[in-house]
Each structure stands twice: as C-alpha cells, then as structure tokens.
Structure 1
Amino acid sequence: MSYSPFSIEVPEAVLDDLRARLAGTRFTTRSGDRPWCAGVDPDYLRELVAYWHTGFDWRAAEARLNAYPQHRVTIGGRKLHFLLVRAVRPAGAPARLPLLLSHGWPSSFVEMLPLVDRLTDPARFGADPADAFDVVVPSLPGFGFSEVPAGPVTRAALARTLHELMTDVLGHQRYGAFGGDVGGVVTGWLGALYPDRVAGIHMIHPPFPASFDARPLSAAEQAYLDADAAYDETDGGYSAIMGTRPDTLAAALADSPAGLAAWLVDKYRDWTDNRGDLANSVDRDTLLTIVTLYWVTGTIGSSFRQYLDFEHNTPRPDITVPAAFTVSTEPSMAGFPREIAERACTDIRHWSEPGRGGHFMPLEEPDLLAGELRQFFGSLRP
C-alpha cells in the first residue's frame, strides 16, 4: 500500500479569518473571587488571545512542523496523516524496533515531537547514538489531518487502523507502541490484539482490566477507585458533554477561536504538572500551535467522536506482551496501584513513578520519558 508525502500549507485566507475572529473576541468576567476557580481565567485568556492575534507566528510554527517528514495514506477509505522519521544511527549499529507513538485528547502529533527528536537522534541529547529508533507518529483518526472513520470510533477500531499503518503500509514485522490518554488505551489494544507483531507496549496511564471480577479489590485498589470517582465529580463535566451533546459544543468551538482555546487550555492547565503556572510545563507557542491545528483543520468536533461512540467499545482481552509504565503525575493518577495494571497485563517488566510529568509527559518531561523508552524498547530485540 503506497503513501504520499504531505506538507502543511494553511491558506492565507484561513489565517486572515482567524485574525479577524480573534480581534473581535468578546470576553466574559470571572465567576468567582479567585483566578481559575471556575475554569479558564478570563484574564489569562485575554492575554493568550492577544498574543495569538498579534504575537504568534503560525508560518514559523508551520515551517517547524514541515521539517518532519509527513505523509498521508488511505486506510479503510479514510485519509490517515502520519510522521515517519528515520533514525540517525552509526554505521554498523543494529536496527532497533520501530516505534509507534500515539497522542490522546486534547492533543495532536505535536505532543510527540520532543520524543521524536530524542529517539531518532539520541546523540544530539547526550545519549548513546546506537540507541536510535525509527519513529512513526500518526494523527489519530478524527484529529488534525486524519479523517474520521466511517464507523464507530472505538479503541479497537483505532488500533486496527494503526496496526495496518505499521504492517501493511510500512511493512514492519514487529514494532513497539507507546501512548498516553486515548493513544495509551489504543496502545493497550494493540498489545492485546496483535501479540505476534507488537513486541511491547509502554504507557503513561496504566490500563484498567476488562473486569475486576477475578478477585476481590485490595485496600489500595478500592482507595484509588474511590478517589478517582471523587475527582471525576469535579473534572468529568467535559467528557459528559462531549459524550452526550458533542455537536452542540462543537458548533460553538468551531466558530470561536477564543472558545476553542479556552476549552483546550482548561485541560492543559489542570492535567499538566505545572505547579500553578501552565508555562512551567508547556510554552505558549507550543500550546497555540496545537490549538491552531484544531482550528485550521476544523476537527474539534470529530475529535469528540471517541466520546460519543464510547458505548460501542467491547471488553479488551488481557495484554500479554511485555509492558512498561512511566506513571503520569496528575490528579487522576494519584495513588494508582500497580495491582490494577497487573489485572490487565500479564508481563509487566518496568514500573516507574518519577513524581514529575503530567498528562502530556512527552511535552513536559521529554528527556525523562525518552530515556525510559530507550531502556525498555532497547531490551526487546527486533
């Protein structure tokens, strides 16, 4: 199956329209007496929109993105966008497993670029040049330049699409897979569905089992599940509306760039390990590059499909391939006990709780995470 080179080229008319909308933004006032007490702080949003309008250089960001080899291929009748970056490897060094890196929501392939740099050219970052991997980074179906699938957007369906990319399109006999959030769940499905082709998986959000019925919950498991349910009472509103009224929400966000930025920034601030200041974890230009990609591709609505179609997911089989976890530091992961992951995975070979790096760890702690990926996947022979 052939694939075609792809380059990001946003029409100037689209950018002109974006600037006009940003210039005419109507802002709200704060609901409470403290910044960020009721969602995105209006003062922060006002400053971000002003910078987006007059300071952010999309063409420079576009050029940085286009420095990475990009392609599109048709799978299941839909276009899939992906990066394919070859390793910078010394002559005679043995080939490593090719790696598939999958982002989640509300993210994009941009999240994985710091990892791409460190995995394909480790010598540039002070690591062993022989530990270089070929890396594939897709835009998940429905995100960015990848079209939404025809049928229900289930985790298994996404896994089948990415497996076809790695095997039928790119010709890999075996590969390793990494992901976080939705990309992490899909990574788990890849390991469960294709143990003969997936050499191992690495995730920052350990998986739940298909069922907890195999044995009684431990005290640690029960405490975590209770805490997670309590946290969801304060954080779960976004998923509830995206899973029940996605088109209503998308109508607003597809029409207002400031509204789109607010919806995404709310999660970046809450879920990163930022010590109260988002800039400590994700710089403003990177954040706006991701938000702008959602805007110019018009894919915020299709990125919600995985939530609307959640009921179509079936129980995932056990994951029997070698598994590694570098557990994210974010509220929903606090106190996550290893025994929950052991209910889902039969061969956990690495478990790390570094105490730093949140939901978007490839952006937040790329050196730490790249080192863990090199160590784990380097131990798995091609």
Structure 2
Amino acid sequence: MSLSIEEIRQAPKALLHDHLDGGLRPATVIELAEGIGHELPTTDVTALGQWFVDAANSGSLERYLETFAHTVAVMQTAESLHRVAYECARDLADDGVVYAEVRFAPELHTEAELGLDEVVESVLAGFAAGCADAAREGHQIRVGALLTAMRHAARSMEIAELAVRYRDSGVVGFDIAGAEAGFPPTRHLDAFEYLQRENSRFTIHAGEGFGLPSIWQALQWCGAHRLGHGVRIVDDISFGDDATPTLGRLAHYVRDTRVPLELCPSSNLQTGAADSITEHPIGLLTKLRFRVTVNTDNRLMSGTSLSREMALLSDAFGYGWPELRWFTINAMKSSFIRFDERLAIIDDVIKPAYTKLIGG
C-alpha cells in the first residue's frame, strides 16, 4: 500500500538538489513583479502556478527558460532575495524537511544594484530568519546554500572564491549548472582545482541532458563529490537475455565509491530523461543500491514538494517507510556539512522518527 503525501509530510526528510529561483510561491512572484512593473503571463495566483508547470511540461526549451526569466526578474534586490529565501526555508520546513541544501547562481541576481557579496548575504539572512521562525513553530530545519556558476559563462572562479569566502557563514558548497551539451565541466577546471586546494565541497550538474561523458568528466577530471542528477549513469548498465544487469566500468566506479546521485524524478520527466515515474531509472538504481537521493529540483516548475516526489515513488515502486528512510539517510550522509553534524541529525532526528513509523 503506497504512502500518501500527508503521511510522508510528517516524516523527516533531507533535500540536496533544490533551486532557489525554481521554488518561489506564485503569490510572491505576482507581488514582486507588480512592485517592479514586470509583466507576467497572468496575475491570478492559481493560474500562474499552473502556467509555470504547463510551460515546464511543454517540451519547448524556450518556454521552459521563460519560466526562470520571470522568477529571476523578481529576485534583483536585497529585500526580494531575503523574502524568497525566507519563504523557501518556511515552505521546506512545512513539508517536513529537516535539512536542505538550496542552490542559486549569484551572477543572475546582479542586474540591478547588487554585488555578488550582497546577493549571498541577502539569501543567507533569509534562510537564517526562515529557519529561526520555523523552529519557533516547532519545525526544526537547517538550510545550507550552494553557490552555482553558470556553465555557459566565465565567472566560475569568481563564484568559487565567493563560496570559499562564505563557507563559515552558511554556504556549504559549489555547483555548476546550465546546458550540458557544448559546455563540459572541464571548461571550469581551474575553479574545481581551486576548490580542491581549499578543501571545499562541490557538486556538478551532470548526466541529465547529456550522457556518460559528462558524468565521467565531472568525476574523473573535476573531482565532483556528488552528481547533480546523474540519472544517465544507467546508460552504462546493460542487460543479458535473462535480464541480469551488467555494470560498465563507470557505473561500477559510481556505485563502488558511493558517489551520491541527486535524482529529481518529476523534473526528469519534464526534461525528457524519463518517460514516466514507473519507468524512471531511480527504480533500477535503487534496486542495485547506488547512493540514491530523492530531490525536487524546481518545486514551482514541477508543481512539487519532496513529500510529493516520495509519494510518487511509493505509488510507482511500492516503497514504504524503510525505503524512504534509506533515501533520507543517503541524502544526509551525502550532505556537505561536517560529519558530526550529519551524524547528529541522522541519530537524533531521522532514525528515531522512522523507527516509530516503521514500528507503528
């Protein structure tokens, strides 16, 4: 029997792949857009939320990118960034998320008066205020920031230095995002080598829109600690006549070294990486015991939450509390905070809660 969204919402969860500019509340988009005179497709809250999902589902890259043009447009002031980050923390806490790493690209938020440092400080302050208010209402959550550089641009070293500068203030790591095809991670090798010298953690978007070469470069050239998506690792798994899976060398490496996969089921359907939840490679990768984590990617564009993603998987694959606990502990183990801090959340929050759920 599958678990409902409401049931899952009560369980502690950990989230590693969530974009700040992909998770705004529709009402907030409307209010902020009105304040700056930015034109939206509609100013009806429900209709706008549906428009974002429909545009992301359209199969048109232009319409998909237009969704982010609207959200980024309203995130250009210290006040708007603080508000969006605050609401992000509150929304995740309300969904039962106890730990989250939320990523954003500072370079996309400097079109008005802000510099990179001001962007980061505004977002970190918003996260801190949101977590504090959630805690006062009985919802404990910790949110860390991942600073993202755009892979088609040339500011990755600058953003990497920014991540190191704020790593004791709430920034937990670095990322690159954007179109994979034509923009391999090795274009930013100097930034990754700098981060390694600085003992800093980073994830790389790889293996979503492009296949195994992107994953191989992210790991073996750039030294990624996690794979953003990484779903195309299934291309290195073949099947014999008896349906027995055979892993290739890269797939073996990813599984053997426990490289975390930041899988985002609903988002993968929108980008064409899978045709349906039941056909999503997460089923195979979970069965083969890769280090699978479940994530939201863009909550607004996918009309989703982490509880909804897990409910979809529960319905498609029959996952119950033991599997959801496994996903959650996988994510917590793979987070970029320190070992003792990870262990405290696993031992003091996650395991006791799931022991009650499984026992009940």
Report which of the two structures shows the higher radius of gyration computed on alpha carbons: 1
TM-score (norm 2): 0.34
Q: Larger % of helix: which?
A: 2
